[in-house]
Amino acid sequence: MLEARTHGRCTEVPAMGRQMRIVYRDEPLPRNFSKAIFLAGPSPRSPGDPDWRVDAVRELADLGYDGVVYIPFPRPGKKDTTDPWRWEHDAMMRSDAIAFWVPRSQQLPGYTTNIEWGEYYRSGRCVLGCPPKAPGMSRMIHMAKFEEVPVASTLRDTMLQCIGGIGLGAARSGGECGIPIKIWRTRSFQEWYKAQCAKGGKLLRAEVQWTSAARAPQIPPAAYKIEAAFSTSTPGEERVVEVLLTERHAAPHVLVIPNDADPLMSTVIILQQENPDAQPYVPPLPEAGLPDPHPLSRAPRVSFLQRVLDAPCTVATSQELRKLRKDLEESDAAYLRTRTTLGALMKRTDPLSRSLAIEAVAALGHARPDFGRTLRAHAVEQLASHRFSSSPQTYSQGKVQRSIAGGRPRARQVES
Protein backbone atom coordinates (compact mmCIF):
# COMPACT_ATOMS: atom_id res chain seq x y z
CA MET A 1 0.00 0.00 0.00
CA LEU A 2 1.42 3.39 -0.97
CA GLU A 3 1.50 5.99 1.76
CA ALA A 4 1.95 9.70 1.32
CA ARG A 5 3.81 11.89 3.79
CA THR A 6 2.59 15.41 4.59
CA HIS A 7 4.99 18.26 5.25
CA GLY A 8 3.35 21.66 5.73
CA ARG A 9 0.77 22.32 3.03
CA CYS A 10 2.19 19.91 0.43
CA THR A 11 2.16 16.14 0.29
CA GLU A 12 5.22 14.21 -0.80
CA VAL A 13 4.38 11.84 -3.61
CA PRO A 14 5.66 8.33 -2.83
CA ALA A 15 8.27 6.73 -5.07
CA MET A 16 7.00 4.26 -7.62
CA GLY A 17 10.08 2.17 -8.21
CA ARG A 18 12.86 2.67 -10.72
CA GLN A 19 10.76 3.12 -13.82
CA MET A 20 8.73 6.24 -12.92
CA ARG A 21 10.76 9.35 -12.13
CA ILE A 22 9.15 12.14 -10.14
CA VAL A 23 10.69 15.60 -10.55
CA TYR A 24 9.77 18.40 -8.11
CA ARG A 25 10.02 22.11 -8.76
CA ASP A 26 13.23 22.53 -6.75
CA GLU A 27 15.00 19.87 -8.81
CA PRO A 28 16.75 20.23 -12.19
CA LEU A 29 14.86 19.06 -15.24
CA PRO A 30 16.02 15.68 -16.58
CA ARG A 31 18.45 15.72 -19.49
CA ASN A 32 17.02 12.58 -21.06
CA PHE A 33 13.73 10.71 -21.05
CA SER A 34 11.35 8.84 -23.29
CA LYS A 35 8.07 10.10 -21.82
CA ALA A 36 7.11 13.11 -19.71
CA ILE A 37 3.83 14.26 -18.14
CA PHE A 38 3.24 17.53 -16.30
CA LEU A 39 0.56 17.47 -13.58
CA ALA A 40 -1.09 20.88 -13.85
CA GLY A 41 -3.92 21.95 -11.60
CA PRO A 42 -4.68 23.55 -8.22
CA SER A 43 -2.16 22.87 -5.46
CA PRO A 44 -2.84 22.75 -1.69
CA ARG A 45 -2.92 26.21 -0.16
CA SER A 46 -2.88 25.26 3.53
CA PRO A 47 -2.17 22.17 5.70
CA GLY A 48 -4.90 19.60 5.44
CA ASP A 49 -6.06 20.54 1.95
CA PRO A 50 -6.44 17.52 -0.36
CA ASP A 51 -3.58 16.83 -2.76
CA TRP A 52 -4.89 15.12 -5.89
CA ARG A 53 -1.39 14.55 -7.31
CA VAL A 54 -0.79 11.66 -4.91
CA ASP A 55 -3.79 9.86 -6.42
CA ALA A 56 -2.67 10.85 -9.93
CA VAL A 57 0.72 9.22 -9.47
CA ARG A 58 -0.97 6.11 -8.08
CA GLU A 59 -3.16 5.96 -11.17
CA LEU A 60 -0.15 6.39 -13.46
CA ALA A 61 1.67 3.57 -11.67
CA ASP A 62 -1.38 1.35 -11.88
CA LEU A 63 -1.62 2.04 -15.63
CA GLY A 64 2.02 1.04 -16.09
CA TYR A 65 3.45 4.47 -16.86
CA ASP A 66 7.25 4.44 -16.78
CA GLY A 67 8.28 8.00 -17.66
CA VAL A 68 8.92 11.35 -16.01
CA VAL A 69 6.27 13.11 -13.91
CA TYR A 70 6.66 16.82 -13.17
CA ILE A 71 5.26 18.05 -9.82
CA PRO A 72 4.98 21.88 -9.79
CA PHE A 73 5.77 22.46 -6.12
CA PRO A 74 8.99 21.94 -4.12
CA ARG A 75 9.76 18.65 -2.48
CA PRO A 76 8.19 18.86 1.00
CA GLY A 77 10.68 19.73 3.65
CA LYS A 78 13.08 21.48 1.25
CA LYS A 79 13.49 25.19 0.54
CA ASP A 80 12.48 26.28 -2.93
CA THR A 81 15.32 28.27 -4.48
CA THR A 82 14.14 28.22 -8.09
CA ASP A 83 12.07 30.69 -10.09
CA PRO A 84 8.69 28.89 -9.99
CA TRP A 85 7.30 30.49 -13.14
CA ARG A 86 10.39 29.77 -15.24
CA TRP A 87 10.66 26.19 -13.93
CA GLU A 88 7.01 25.43 -14.66
CA HIS A 89 7.19 26.94 -18.15
CA ASP A 90 10.34 25.00 -18.98
CA ALA A 91 8.84 21.79 -17.59
CA MET A 92 5.63 22.20 -19.58
CA MET A 93 7.60 22.86 -22.75
CA ARG A 94 9.59 19.68 -22.09
CA SER A 95 6.47 17.56 -21.59
CA ASP A 96 4.74 15.19 -23.98
CA ALA A 97 1.41 15.69 -22.21
CA ILE A 98 0.07 18.25 -19.73
CA ALA A 99 -2.64 16.82 -17.51
CA PHE A 100 -4.98 19.54 -16.22
CA TRP A 101 -6.98 17.99 -13.40
CA VAL A 102 -9.19 20.70 -11.83
CA PRO A 103 -11.19 19.52 -8.78
CA ARG A 104 -12.22 23.10 -8.12
CA SER A 105 -13.49 23.88 -4.61
CA GLN A 106 -13.09 26.45 -1.84
CA GLN A 107 -9.88 24.69 -0.74
CA LEU A 108 -8.61 24.39 -4.33
CA PRO A 109 -9.87 27.47 -6.23
CA GLY A 110 -7.38 27.07 -9.08
CA TYR A 111 -6.65 30.73 -9.76
CA THR A 112 -3.18 30.02 -11.14
CA THR A 113 -4.57 27.03 -13.03
CA ASN A 114 -6.88 29.33 -14.97
CA ILE A 115 -3.88 31.35 -16.16
CA GLU A 116 -1.86 28.27 -17.07
CA TRP A 117 -4.77 26.77 -19.00
CA GLY A 118 -5.18 29.97 -20.99
CA GLU A 119 -1.48 29.93 -21.84
CA TYR A 120 -1.07 26.29 -22.83
CA TYR A 121 -4.42 24.86 -23.90
CA ARG A 122 -3.47 25.30 -27.58
CA SER A 123 -0.03 23.74 -27.17
CA GLY A 124 -1.26 20.38 -28.48
CA ARG A 125 -0.14 18.62 -25.28
CA CYS A 126 -3.10 19.17 -22.97
CA VAL A 127 -5.75 16.88 -21.52
CA LEU A 128 -8.48 18.46 -19.38
CA GLY A 129 -10.17 16.63 -16.55
CA CYS A 130 -12.53 17.63 -13.76
CA PRO A 131 -15.23 16.05 -11.57
CA PRO A 132 -18.70 16.24 -13.14
CA LYS A 133 -19.96 18.80 -10.58
CA ALA A 134 -16.84 20.94 -10.29
CA PRO A 135 -17.90 24.62 -10.28
CA GLY A 136 -16.64 27.20 -12.76
CA MET A 137 -15.52 24.70 -15.41
CA SER A 138 -17.97 25.33 -18.24
CA ARG A 139 -15.74 27.85 -20.00
CA MET A 140 -12.65 25.65 -19.84
CA ILE A 141 -14.60 22.64 -21.11
CA HIS A 142 -16.01 24.71 -23.97
CA MET A 143 -12.51 25.89 -24.94
CA ALA A 144 -11.21 22.32 -24.80
CA LYS A 145 -13.95 20.91 -27.01
CA PHE A 146 -13.61 23.79 -29.47
CA GLU A 147 -9.89 23.02 -29.89
CA GLU A 148 -10.48 19.24 -29.88
CA VAL A 149 -8.59 18.80 -26.60
CA PRO A 150 -9.57 15.56 -24.78
CA VAL A 151 -11.90 16.04 -21.80
CA ALA A 152 -12.30 13.48 -18.99
CA SER A 153 -14.54 13.33 -15.93
CA THR A 154 -12.34 11.14 -13.70
CA LEU A 155 -8.72 11.37 -12.64
CA ARG A 156 -7.98 7.91 -13.99
CA ASP A 157 -9.42 8.71 -17.41
CA THR A 158 -7.38 11.92 -17.50
CA MET A 159 -4.17 9.99 -16.85
CA LEU A 160 -5.23 7.33 -19.34
CA GLN A 161 -5.71 9.95 -22.07
CA CYS A 162 -2.19 11.24 -21.40
CA ILE A 163 -0.63 7.80 -21.53
CA GLY A 164 -2.57 6.89 -24.66
CA GLY A 165 -1.41 10.04 -26.39
CA ILE A 166 2.25 9.39 -25.59
CA GLY A 167 2.21 5.70 -26.46
CA LEU A 168 5.56 3.93 -26.26
CA GLY A 169 7.45 7.20 -26.17
CA ALA A 170 10.83 7.88 -27.77
CA ALA A 171 14.27 8.32 -26.26
CA ARG A 172 15.42 11.95 -26.34
CA SER A 173 18.34 13.74 -24.72
CA GLY A 174 19.63 17.27 -24.34
CA GLY A 175 17.83 19.75 -26.56
CA GLU A 176 15.72 16.96 -28.05
CA CYS A 177 13.67 16.95 -24.82
CA GLY A 178 12.05 20.19 -25.98
CA ILE A 179 10.33 18.39 -28.87
CA PRO A 180 7.07 16.70 -27.79
CA ILE A 181 6.42 13.15 -28.91
CA LYS A 182 3.64 14.15 -31.35
CA ILE A 183 6.10 16.28 -33.33
CA TRP A 184 9.13 14.06 -32.76
CA ARG A 185 7.37 11.23 -34.60
CA THR A 186 6.52 13.29 -37.67
CA ARG A 187 8.42 12.73 -40.89
CA SER A 188 8.77 16.47 -41.47
CA PHE A 189 10.64 16.99 -38.21
CA GLN A 190 12.86 13.94 -38.57
CA GLU A 191 13.88 14.94 -42.10
CA TRP A 192 14.59 18.51 -41.03
CA TYR A 193 16.48 17.40 -37.89
CA LYS A 194 18.60 14.98 -39.90
CA ALA A 195 19.49 17.75 -42.34
CA GLN A 196 20.44 20.10 -39.50
CA CYS A 197 22.62 17.48 -37.83
CA ALA A 198 24.39 16.90 -41.13
CA LYS A 199 25.53 20.54 -41.02
CA GLY A 200 27.40 19.79 -37.81
CA GLY A 201 26.75 20.74 -34.22
CA LYS A 202 24.60 19.38 -31.43
CA LEU A 203 21.05 20.40 -30.59
CA LEU A 204 21.38 22.48 -27.42
CA ARG A 205 17.76 23.43 -26.90
CA ALA A 206 14.49 23.54 -28.82
CA GLU A 207 11.06 25.02 -28.28
CA VAL A 208 7.83 24.55 -30.22
CA GLN A 209 6.54 28.11 -30.52
CA TRP A 210 3.34 27.59 -32.51
CA THR A 211 1.13 24.80 -33.79
CA SER A 212 -1.68 25.11 -36.32
CA ALA A 213 -4.20 23.27 -34.12
CA ALA A 214 -4.31 21.90 -30.57
CA ARG A 215 -6.13 18.56 -30.59
CA ALA A 216 -5.06 15.51 -28.61
CA PRO A 217 -1.43 14.73 -27.65
CA GLN A 218 -1.30 11.87 -30.17
CA ILE A 219 -2.49 13.88 -33.22
CA PRO A 220 0.36 15.70 -34.99
CA PRO A 221 -0.31 19.27 -36.14
CA ALA A 222 -0.53 20.09 -39.83
CA ALA A 223 2.02 22.87 -39.35
CA TYR A 224 4.25 24.01 -36.50
CA LYS A 225 7.05 26.45 -35.80
CA ILE A 226 10.25 25.56 -33.93
CA GLU A 227 13.15 27.60 -32.60
CA ALA A 228 16.28 25.49 -32.11
CA ALA A 229 19.85 26.27 -31.11
CA PHE A 230 22.77 24.19 -32.35
CA SER A 231 26.38 24.28 -31.19
CA THR A 232 29.10 25.47 -33.54
CA SER A 233 32.81 24.86 -33.91
CA THR A 234 33.48 28.24 -32.22
CA PRO A 235 33.32 28.00 -28.41
CA GLY A 236 30.60 30.15 -26.89
CA GLU A 237 28.68 30.61 -30.14
CA GLU A 238 25.53 28.90 -31.29
CA ARG A 239 23.49 28.66 -34.46
CA VAL A 240 19.84 29.57 -33.87
CA VAL A 241 17.28 28.44 -36.42
CA GLU A 242 13.60 29.33 -36.68
CA VAL A 243 11.65 27.13 -39.05
CA LEU A 244 8.01 26.54 -40.00
CA LEU A 245 7.45 22.89 -40.86
CA THR A 246 4.40 21.18 -42.33
CA GLU A 247 3.35 17.59 -42.62
CA ARG A 248 3.14 17.18 -46.39
CA HIS A 249 0.52 14.44 -46.30
CA ALA A 250 -1.48 16.01 -43.47
CA ALA A 251 -1.42 19.75 -44.11
CA PRO A 252 -3.76 21.36 -46.63
CA HIS A 253 -2.04 23.34 -49.38
CA VAL A 254 -3.15 26.96 -49.77
CA LEU A 255 -3.11 28.63 -53.16
CA VAL A 256 -3.73 32.41 -53.20
CA ILE A 257 -4.78 34.34 -56.33
CA PRO A 258 -4.22 38.08 -55.61
CA ASN A 259 -6.92 40.65 -56.28
CA ASP A 260 -5.35 43.99 -57.20
CA ALA A 261 -8.50 45.97 -56.45
CA ASP A 262 -9.05 44.59 -52.93
CA PRO A 263 -6.57 42.29 -51.17
CA LEU A 264 -9.31 40.86 -48.95
CA MET A 265 -11.14 39.67 -52.07
CA SER A 266 -8.12 37.62 -53.12
CA THR A 267 -9.12 34.06 -53.91
CA VAL A 268 -7.93 31.37 -51.51
CA ILE A 269 -8.01 27.81 -52.80
CA ILE A 270 -7.35 25.00 -50.34
CA LEU A 271 -6.07 21.72 -51.76
CA GLN A 272 -5.97 18.46 -49.85
CA GLN A 273 -3.98 15.41 -50.87
CA GLU A 274 -6.34 12.56 -51.64
CA ASN A 275 -3.78 9.77 -51.64
CA PRO A 276 -0.75 10.25 -49.34
CA ASP A 277 1.32 7.89 -51.49
CA ALA A 278 0.33 9.43 -54.81
CA GLN A 279 2.88 11.45 -56.76
CA PRO A 280 2.21 14.39 -59.11
CA TYR A 281 1.32 13.28 -62.59
CA VAL A 282 4.29 13.10 -64.96
CA PRO A 283 3.49 12.63 -68.67
CA PRO A 284 5.13 9.45 -69.97
CA LEU A 285 8.20 9.82 -72.11
CA PRO A 286 7.69 8.91 -75.77
CA GLU A 287 9.22 5.77 -77.22
CA ALA A 288 12.49 6.10 -79.10
CA GLY A 289 12.02 7.67 -82.52
CA LEU A 290 8.49 9.00 -81.78
CA PRO A 291 7.58 12.69 -81.26
CA ASP A 292 6.90 13.92 -77.72
CA PRO A 293 3.11 14.34 -77.31
CA HIS A 294 3.69 16.83 -74.48
CA PRO A 295 6.53 19.04 -75.72
CA LEU A 296 5.32 22.31 -74.16
CA SER A 297 3.27 21.34 -71.16
CA ARG A 298 5.55 18.73 -69.61
CA ALA A 299 7.96 20.92 -67.61
CA PRO A 300 5.75 23.86 -66.57
CA ARG A 301 2.78 21.70 -65.59
CA VAL A 302 4.80 19.31 -63.48
CA SER A 303 6.94 22.02 -61.87
CA PHE A 304 3.95 24.16 -60.85
CA LEU A 305 1.99 21.28 -59.36
CA GLN A 306 5.10 20.14 -57.53
CA ARG A 307 5.61 23.67 -56.22
CA VAL A 308 2.06 23.76 -54.84
CA LEU A 309 2.43 20.38 -53.16
CA ASP A 310 5.85 21.22 -51.71
CA ALA A 311 4.82 24.53 -50.16
CA PRO A 312 2.17 25.10 -47.47
CA CYS A 313 1.13 28.34 -49.17
CA THR A 314 1.70 29.49 -52.76
CA VAL A 315 0.86 32.79 -54.45
CA ALA A 316 -0.04 32.19 -58.08
CA THR A 317 -1.49 33.94 -61.10
CA SER A 318 -4.70 33.08 -62.89
CA GLN A 319 -2.69 31.54 -65.71
CA GLU A 320 -0.92 29.24 -63.25
CA LEU A 321 -4.28 28.32 -61.76
CA ARG A 322 -5.48 27.17 -65.18
CA LYS A 323 -2.35 25.02 -65.47
CA LEU A 324 -3.04 23.54 -62.06
CA ARG A 325 -6.59 22.63 -63.06
CA LYS A 326 -5.26 20.67 -66.02
CA ASP A 327 -2.78 18.90 -63.78
CA LEU A 328 -5.46 17.96 -61.29
CA GLU A 329 -7.60 16.44 -64.04
CA GLU A 330 -4.81 13.98 -64.79
CA SER A 331 -3.50 13.39 -61.26
CA ASP A 332 -4.89 11.96 -58.04
CA ALA A 333 -2.17 13.64 -55.97
CA ALA A 334 -4.50 16.39 -54.79
CA TYR A 335 -8.01 17.72 -55.14
CA LEU A 336 -9.69 21.07 -54.62
CA ARG A 337 -11.19 21.13 -51.15
CA THR A 338 -12.72 24.60 -50.92
CA ARG A 339 -12.53 28.02 -52.52
CA THR A 340 -13.20 31.26 -50.70
CA THR A 341 -11.99 34.84 -50.34
CA LEU A 342 -9.26 35.82 -47.92
CA GLY A 343 -11.64 38.11 -46.04
CA ALA A 344 -14.19 35.33 -45.56
CA LEU A 345 -11.50 32.88 -44.47
CA MET A 346 -10.23 35.32 -41.84
CA LYS A 347 -13.72 35.62 -40.34
CA ARG A 348 -14.12 31.89 -39.79
CA THR A 349 -13.65 30.68 -36.22
CA ASP A 350 -12.42 27.10 -36.57
CA PRO A 351 -8.70 26.62 -35.76
CA LEU A 352 -7.79 25.20 -39.19
CA SER A 353 -9.26 28.16 -41.06
CA ARG A 354 -7.48 30.60 -38.79
CA SER A 355 -4.13 28.91 -39.33
CA LEU A 356 -4.71 28.83 -43.10
CA ALA A 357 -5.64 32.52 -43.04
CA ILE A 358 -2.39 33.31 -41.22
CA GLU A 359 -0.42 31.46 -43.90
CA ALA A 360 -2.32 33.18 -46.72
CA VAL A 361 -1.82 36.64 -45.20
CA ALA A 362 1.88 35.98 -44.67
CA ALA A 363 2.47 34.61 -48.17
CA LEU A 364 0.44 37.26 -49.98
CA GLY A 365 1.88 40.12 -47.93
CA HIS A 366 5.39 38.87 -48.59
CA ALA A 367 4.84 38.37 -52.32
CA ARG A 368 2.99 41.67 -52.73
CA PRO A 369 4.43 44.28 -50.34
CA ASP A 370 1.85 46.81 -51.56
CA PHE A 371 -0.81 44.59 -49.99
CA GLY A 372 1.07 44.34 -46.71
CA ARG A 373 -0.40 47.29 -44.81
CA THR A 374 -4.03 46.46 -45.60
CA LEU A 375 -3.55 42.78 -44.88
CA ARG A 376 -1.77 43.34 -41.59
CA ALA A 377 -4.41 45.76 -40.36
CA HIS A 378 -7.25 43.36 -41.13
CA ALA A 379 -5.26 40.37 -39.82
CA VAL A 380 -4.74 42.04 -36.46
CA GLU A 381 -8.40 43.07 -36.30
CA GLN A 382 -9.77 39.66 -37.22
CA LEU A 383 -7.23 37.37 -35.57
CA ALA A 384 -5.74 39.25 -32.62
CA SER A 385 -8.40 37.89 -30.26
CA HIS A 386 -7.17 34.35 -30.90
CA ARG A 387 -3.91 33.23 -29.22
CA PHE A 388 -1.85 30.70 -31.10
CA SER A 389 0.65 30.11 -28.29
CA SER A 390 1.65 31.21 -24.80
CA SER A 391 3.41 34.31 -26.15
CA PRO A 392 2.07 37.17 -28.28
CA GLN A 393 2.44 37.15 -32.04
CA THR A 394 2.93 40.14 -34.30
CA TYR A 395 2.46 40.60 -37.99
CA SER A 396 5.28 42.32 -39.82
CA GLN A 397 6.21 42.43 -43.52
CA GLY A 398 3.71 39.69 -44.23
CA LYS A 399 5.61 37.18 -42.08
CA VAL A 400 4.44 35.74 -38.79
CA GLN A 401 6.98 36.62 -36.11
CA ARG A 402 7.00 35.82 -32.42
CA SER A 403 8.53 37.68 -29.52
CA ILE A 404 10.40 35.42 -27.12
CA ALA A 405 10.52 36.40 -23.46
CA GLY A 406 13.87 36.19 -21.71
CA GLY A 407 17.29 35.29 -23.00
CA ARG A 408 19.96 37.43 -24.59
CA PRO A 409 19.65 38.70 -28.17
CA ARG A 410 21.02 36.23 -30.69
CA ALA A 411 21.62 36.27 -34.39
CA ARG A 412 18.96 34.16 -36.07
CA GLN A 413 18.84 32.16 -39.24
CA VAL A 414 15.28 32.08 -40.56
CA GLU A 415 14.28 29.13 -42.73
CA SER A 416 11.03 28.28 -44.44
* pLDDT score at 56: 95
C-beta of residue 72 within 8 angstroms of C-beta of residue 43: yes
Decide which of 373 and 357 is more confident: 357
> How many percent of the chain have pLDDT more than 70?
69
CA atoms within 13 A on the CB side of 93: 22
pLDDT over threshold 60, residue 287: no
Whole-number Å distance between alpha carbons of 218 and 161: 9
> How many percent of the chain have pLDDT more than 90?
27
pTM comes to 0.60
Query: Which helix H or strand E contains 323, and what residues bound it?
Result: helix 318-329
| Spacing of C-alpha 68 from chain mean position | 21
| Average pLDDT of span 262-273 | 82
Domain 15-166 has CATH 3.30.465.10: no
pLDDT over threshold 80, residue 268: yes
* pLDDT score at 335: 67
Q: With cut-offs at 50, 70 and 90, classify the pLDDT of residue 6.
A: very low
Identity of the amino acid at 312: P
Q: With cut-offs at 50, 70 and 90, classify the pLDDT of residue 332.
A: low
Decide which of 409 and 227 is more confident: 227
C-beta of residue 309 within 8 angstroms of C-beta of residue 358: no
* pLDDT score at 65: 92
pLDDT tens-digit series, residues 107-131: 888 888 999 999 999 888 999 999 9
Q: With cut-offs at 50, 70 and 90, classify the pLDDT of residue 40.
A: very high
What are the two backbone dihedrals, phi and then psi, of residue 388, each rounded to the nearest 5 degrees? -90, -15
* pLDDT score at 214: 62
pLDDT tens-digit series, residues 187-210: 888 988 998 888 888 999 999 988
Whole-number Å distance between alpha carbons of 158 and 98: 10
Map residue 156 onto helix, strand or coil. Answer: helix
Q: What is the DSSP letter of 111?
A: H
User: 15-44: buried (b, 16+ CB within 10 Å) or exposed (e) per residue?
Assistant: ebeeebbbbbbbeeebeebbbbbbbbbbbb
Handedness of CA 194, 200, 201, 207 (dihedral sign): negative
**Domain regions of the chain by residue span:** 15-166, 173-248, 253-283+296-401
| Average pLDDT of span 304-312 | 67
Whole-number Å distance between alpha carbons of 190 and 184: 7
| Average pLDDT of span 27-48 | 90
Whole-number Å distance between alpha carbons of 85 and 100: 17
Q: How far is CA 60 from each of CA 37, 86, 223, 305, rounded to the nearest angstrom?
A: 10, 26, 31, 48
What is the residue-averaged pLDDT of the chain? 75
C-beta of residue 45 within 8 angstroms of C-beta of residue 114: no
* pLDDT score at 310: 65
C-alpha triplet 355, 359, 364: angle, nearest 5°: 150
Whole-number Å distance between alpha carbons of 104 and 111: 10
Query: Which helix H or strand E contains 363, and what residues bound it?
Result: helix 351-367
Q: With cut-offs at 50, 70 and 90, classify the pLDDT of residue 5.
A: very low
pLDDT over threshold 90, residue 146: no
